[in-house]
């Protein structure tokens, strides 16, 4: 979501006549869009500010995002910054920058109920795979997590607004849209759920692929599960964080699902879409996690067989219930558990990639690779696919997967680029079924 927010802030400032530069020394304004989820991300902001101020140039510095929201005026006390703007207030960036340029205080961490989106400029040019925020905030209050405090309560953007922005993204060059939200599958508008929205977006000609992230297990409605069977354009990939495989720890985390309810949910998804690629998030070293709890996480990993996943050491966040819990786990123990978990996840990712050798699928070409003539795109299962051949960025190309590595696969182009994914995709599904 910070990528999406960053694009939007760049668009707002472009409307003010600013152009983007890769050279921080040449910049009049540097916007640091920040993350508060773990301590390391937060501390990075201060080292980045220090580095920027060390250079000869003296740009205006704006701190945006969740660190701005959480720390507010404290940032101005700790570092020399000119603007502090929270994730729900960045539509006011031009005004804040103007105030800062006049030497006035410029801090806005309001969370207005009327969403910022109505105040943002239209989308003009985007990458073939574009993000679209449809939902923000979280009411789940997992005991380790700052998101409910920094992004605020769960809010859905309205149906018409989302459909209009999706059409604008397609007009601006998007072939694939990833719908974003901290709890994207909690999206609703007057009783209509995410699957209804996906069905409507699938009717947009020129939009070939739809994805969504991140989902909460408890908001995984039957309609959304069935959308994975019924809507061709919805890609066979599901990122569904589980965090731990131990019921005791899940309870302490306030996750409101169990190991078993999570696994049964995945069974239901796999029943309608056998080739679905599964991803997740894991935390090791939550307060009180024993070796036996951690063993449960490893056995859950074995049971699922993820195509990819993210794993983190628990990081105590100020103001969250878990930060004050007894039995904080020692750093060395966390390090060692993270290593074992990542070894298991890497093993499964490599196995997933290896199993896709021989598959045929469409790949959306997203960027140039390092080798001459090489392009990198994504398979329906969100694998990075390296191809050498006659294709351009933004093409959907029919590819046969020929080799697999730990983090990506290699393919050869089977046909010239074409506009419609549906036919090829149907064939790919038949191939997989066979
Ligand atoms: N410490 C470590 N990881 C965290 N996450 C959220 N809060 C914390 C924390 N305090 C992880 C969760 C979540 C992902 C976005 O970040 O796994 O799903
Ligand atoms: Fe944080 Fe996700 Fe839990 Fe919400 S559901 S509190 S965003 S981990």
Q: Strand 408-413 and strand 384-388: pairing?
A: parallel
Query: What distance in Å separates the CA atoms of residue 78 and residue 80, rounded to the nearest whole number?
Result: 7
User: What's the confidence (pLDDT) of residue 416?
Assistant: 55
Residue 419 has pLDDT above 50, yes or no: no
Q: Where in the chain is the domain with CATH 2.40.50.140?
A: 357-433
User: What's the confidence (pLDDT) of residue 13?
Assistant: 96
What's the predicted TM-score (pTM) here?
A: 0.93
Q: Which atom of ligand 1 sits closest to the CA of residue 146? A: 7
Over residues 135-162, the mean pLDDT reads: 96
Residue-wise pLDDT tens digits, 347-368: 999 999 999 999 999 999 999 9
Residue 434 has pLDDT above 90, yes or no: no
User: What's the confidence (pLDDT) of residue 25?
Assistant: 83
User: What's the confidence (pLDDT) of residue 424?
Assistant: 46
Residue 302 DSSP label: H
For ligand 2, atom 2, the nearest C-alpha belongs to: 182
Tell whether ligand 1 has an atom less than 6 A from the beta carbon of residue 315: yes
What percentage of the chain exceeds 70 in pLDDT?
95
357-433 to CATH, choices 1.10.150.120, 3.40.630.30, 1.10.490.10, 2.40.50.140: 2.40.50.140
Q: Which atom of ligand 1 sits closest to the CA of residue 317? A: 10
Residue 426 has pLDDT above 80, yes or no: no
User: What's the confidence (pLDDT) of residue 151?
Assistant: 92
Residue in 182, 256, 281 to alter for ligand 2 test, most ligand atoms within 8 A of Cβ = 182
User: What's the confidence (pLDDT) of residue 57?
Assistant: 74
Tell whether ligand 1 has an atom less than 6 A from the beta carbon of residue 37: yes
Give the three-class secondary structure for 130.
Answer: strand
Residue 271 has pLDDT above 90, yes or no: yes
User: What's the confidence (pLDDT) of residue 415?
Assistant: 67
Residue 332 has pLDDT above 50, yes or no: yes
User: What's the confidence (pLDDT) of residue 286?
Assistant: 98
Residue-wise pLDDT tens digits, 183-240: 999 999 999 999 999 999 999 999 999 999 999 999 999 999 999 999 999 999 999 9
- Cβ atoms of 148 and 138 within 8 Å: the answer is yes
- Cβ atoms of 199 and 174 within 8 Å: the answer is no
Residue 265 has pLDDT above 60, yes or no: yes
Beta strands in 253-407 (DSSP E): 277-284, 308-313, 360-368, 374-378, 384-388, 396-404
Residue 66, annotated as binding a ligand: no
Q: Which atom of ligand 2 sits closest to the CA of residue 214? A: 2
Q: Where in the chain is the domain with CATH 3.80.30.20?
A: 116-355
Residue with tokens 């997740």: 280
Asked if omega into 184 is within 30° of 0 (cis), the reply is no
Tell whether ligand 1 has an atom less than 6 A from the beta carbon of residue 283: yes
Poorest-confidence range of 56-60, 221-225, 309-313, 392-396? 56-60
Cβ neighbourhood burial of 127 (10 Å; 0-12, 13-18, 19+): middle
User: What's the confidence (pLDDT) of residue 124?
Assistant: 85
Alpha helices, H only, 55-110:
66-71, 73-78, 93-101
Q: How confident is the model at residue 125 (pLDDT cuts 50, 70, 90)?
A: confident
Residue 399 has pLDDT above 80, yes or no: yes
Domain 116-355 has CATH 3.20.20.70: no
What percentage of the chain exceeds 90 in pLDDT?
86
Query: How confident is the prediction for the chain on average, in pLDDT?
Result: 93
Residue-wise pLDDT tens digits, 243-260: 999 999 999 999 999 999
Over residues 158-181, the mean pLDDT reads: 97
- Ligand 2 centroid–CA 351 distance in Å is 29
User: What's the confidence (pLDDT) of residue 112?
Assistant: 84
- Cβ atoms of 143 and 254 within 8 Å: the answer is yes
- Ligand 2 centroid–CA 40 distance in Å is 18
Give the three-class secondary structure for 111.
Answer: coil
Domain 2-108 has CATH 3.30.365.10: no
User: What's the confidence (pLDDT) of residue 347?
Assistant: 98
Q: How far is CA 249 from CA 213, 293, 330, in A?
A: 24, 7, 16
Residue 58 has pLDDT above 80, yes or no: yes
Q: Where in the chain is the domain with CATH 3.40.50.12160?
A: 2-108
Asked if omega into 214 is within 30° of 0 (cis), the reply is yes
Residue 421 has pLDDT above 50, yes or no: no
Angle (nearest 5°) at CA 185 between 408 and 139 = 115
């Amino acid at each position: 979501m910070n990528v999406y927010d960053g694009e939007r802030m760049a668009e707002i400032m472009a409307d003010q006549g600013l152009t983007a530069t890769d050279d921080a020394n040449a910049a009049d304004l540097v916007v640091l869009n920040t993350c508060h989820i773990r301590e390391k991300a937060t501390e990075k902001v201060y080292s980045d500010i220090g580095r920027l101020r060390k250079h000869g140039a003296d740009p205006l510095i704006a701190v945006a995002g969740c660190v701005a929201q959480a720390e507010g005026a404290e940032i101005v006390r700790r570092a020399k910054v000119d603007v502090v703007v929270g994730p729900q207030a960045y539509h006011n960036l031009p005004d804040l920058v103007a105030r800062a340029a006049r030497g006035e205080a410029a801090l806005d961490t309001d969370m207005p109920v009327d969403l910022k989106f109505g105040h943002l400029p239209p989308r003009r040019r985007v990458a073939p795979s574009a993000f679209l925020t449809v939902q923000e905030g979280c009411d789940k209050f997992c005991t380790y997590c700052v998101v409910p405090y920094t992004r605020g309560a769960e809010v859905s953007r309205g149906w018409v607004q989302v459909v209009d922005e999706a059409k604008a993204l397609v007009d601006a060059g998007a072939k694939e849209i990833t719908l974003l939200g901290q709890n994207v599958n909690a999206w609703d508008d007057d009783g209509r759920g995410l699957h209804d929205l996906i069905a409507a977006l699938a009717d947009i000609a020129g939009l070939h692929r739809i994805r969504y992230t991140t989902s909460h297990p408890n908001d995984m409605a039957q309609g959304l599960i069935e959308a994975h069977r019924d809507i061709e354009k919805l890609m066979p990939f599901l990122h569904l964080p589980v965090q731990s495989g131990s019921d005791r720890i899940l309870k302490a985390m306030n996750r409101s699902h169990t190991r078993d309810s999570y696994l049964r949910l995945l069974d239901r998804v796999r029943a309608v879409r056998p080739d679905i690629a599964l991803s997740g998030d894991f935390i090791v070293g939550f307060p009180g996690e024993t070796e036996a709890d951690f063993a449960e996480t490893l056995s859950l990993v074995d049971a699922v067989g993820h195509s990819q996943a993210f794993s983190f050491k628990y990081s105590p966040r100020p103001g969250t219930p878990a930060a004050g819990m007894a039995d904080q786990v020692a750093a060395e123990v966390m390090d060692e558990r993270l290593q074992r978990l990542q070894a298991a996840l890497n093993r499964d990712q490599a196995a997933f990639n290896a199993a896709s050798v021989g598959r045929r699928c469409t790949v959306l070409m997203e960027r140039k690779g390092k080798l001459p003539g090489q392009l990198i795109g994504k398979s329906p299962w969100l694998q990075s696919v390296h191809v050498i051949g006659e294709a351009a960025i933004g093409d959907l190309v029919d590819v046969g997967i020929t080799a697999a590595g730990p983090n990506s696969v290699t393919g050869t182009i089977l046909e010239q680029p074409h506009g419609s994914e549906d036919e090829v995709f149907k064939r790919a599904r038949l191939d997989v079924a066979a």
